[in-house]
Amino acid sequence: MAAALPFVEGVLRQTDYWATLWRRTWRGVVASSFLSPFLYVIAMGVLLGGFVKADADKLEGATSYLAFVIPGLIAAHAMQTAVSETTYPVMGMIKWQRIYESMLATPLQPRHVVGAHLMSVVLHLSATCGLYTIVTAFFGVYASWWGPILAFGSQVLCGIAFATLVYAFTTRNKSEEGFGVLFRLGVFPLFLFSGAFFPVSNLGSVGSWIARCTPLWHGVNLSRMFALDNVTWWVAGVNVGVLAVLAVLGWRWSVTGLTKRMIS
Q: What is the pLDDT of residue 118?
A: 96
Q: What is the pLDDT of residue 154?
A: 96
Helix, strand, coil percent content, the chain, rounded in steps of 5? 80, 0, 20
Q: What is the pLDDT of residue 2?
A: 55
Q: What is the pLDDT of residue 50?
A: 65
Q: What is the pLDDT of residue 4?
A: 67
Q: b/e string for 241-252 if b means 16 or more Cβ within 10 A? A: ebbeebbeebbe
Whole-angstrom distance, CA of residue 121 vs CA of residue 219: 17
Q: Output the CA–CA distances (angstroms, integers) from residue 136 to 35, 41, 66, 151, in the order listed.
A: 12, 7, 10, 12
Q: What is the pLDDT of residue 175?
A: 84
Whole-angstrom distance, CA of residue 43 vs CA of residue 9: 45
**Nearest by Cα to 194 from 179, 212, 177:** 212
Which residues of the chain are modeled with pLDDT < 50?
A: none
pLDDT one-digit tens code per residue, 220-245: 999 999 999 989 999 999 999 999 99
What does pTM read for this prediction? Answer: 0.91
Q: What is the pLDDT of residue 3?
A: 56
